[in-house]
Amino acid sequence: MKKIFTFIGLISAAASVNAQIVINEVYGGGGNSGAPFTHDFVELINKGNTTVTLTGASLQYASATGTFNSYQALPNITLSPGQTYLIQEFSNGNVGSALPTPDFAPTTNTAFSNGQVYQTALNIAGSNGKIVLANNLSQVSSPTDTNVIDFVGFGTGNAFEGTAAAPAPSNTNSISRTNGVDTNNNSTDFTTGTPTPKNSTSGTLAVSDVAKTNGNFVRNSFVKNNEITFGADAKDVKVYTMSGQLVKTASVKENEPVSVAELAKGNYIVTGTVNNKPVSQKILKD
């Protein structure tokens, strides 16, 4: 899939093709029966290694077999490596909690120079559909269109990246990237699970606040046996790469280990909440 972005301070498309702002999570059950959140949402993430700015882009949505006739013009978006961007979409009712403060929460429709009105709050189906991140406002018709940055078909969606659509979400589950991977194959890149909306301030502790470490958090900062052992009950444990990519989540009890056998050797940042306080710690996996 061709990925086109504009780097900060650069204009050349050739210089920007290595950047990767992609769709990281999609949830369409907002406000429905059993929903954990009142609104649908789409979460973007910068999977590259360089800060990038996305300008003039749009999200476009279609039903499982329909055409992309729901548009959302996005503001200019600048994301650091691993940084997420939360877009609040349509609400189907009052069931559930409010999302974390969204980075973009449009409430009105906007008319563009061609006279077309672009829907700004996408009403995403709970189970089946297609959504695309495009680098302009031109209507997308297929995953191979030149303006497609990232394309996700889910459930019974009749268009998708790769060999098959992503699994179907529900009122209670979203689809999100499996270990943050983007191989341009929706069926393997996405899995269903509890929605975890993250705005652009999420995960900043893991990257910029490593000095504030609780000594009772991670017992073995040098990990030799593929397990991290925790010295206290810790909620919302997250393991990030040094570039800010989320690669593991858990909640643990004191002296309980978490396997990181699937992670490559190297440095990581572990964050969590201990006694209702955020903590973080750098580890080295051997």
pLDDT along the chain (286 residues), means of 10: 38 37 95 94 88 91 93 89 90 90 80 59 93 94 95 97 96 88 91 90 51 65 89 84 74 88 85 78 84
- Centre a 10 Å sphere on the Cβ of residue 117 and count the other Cβ atoms it contains: 10
Residue spans of the domains in the chain: they are 6-193, 204-285
The count of residues in the chain is 286
- Kindly state the greatest CA–CA separation across the chain: 62
Could you identify the residue written with the tokens 């993430």? 45
Contact (CB, 8 A) for 189 and 215 = no
CATH fold of 204-285, please?
Immunoglobulin-like (2.60.40)
Q: How much is the pTM?
A: 0.67
**What is the Cα–Cα distance from 162 to 180, expressed in whole angstroms?**
17
Question: Can 6-193 and 204-285 be said to share one CATH topology?
Answer: yes
Residue 188, helix vs strand vs coil: helix
Q: Which amino acid is at 11?
A: I
CATH of domain 6-193: 2.60.40.1260
Beta strand 234-241 with 70-73 is: unpaired
Cα separation, 226 vs 212, whole angstroms: 24
SS3 (DSSP) at 279 = strand
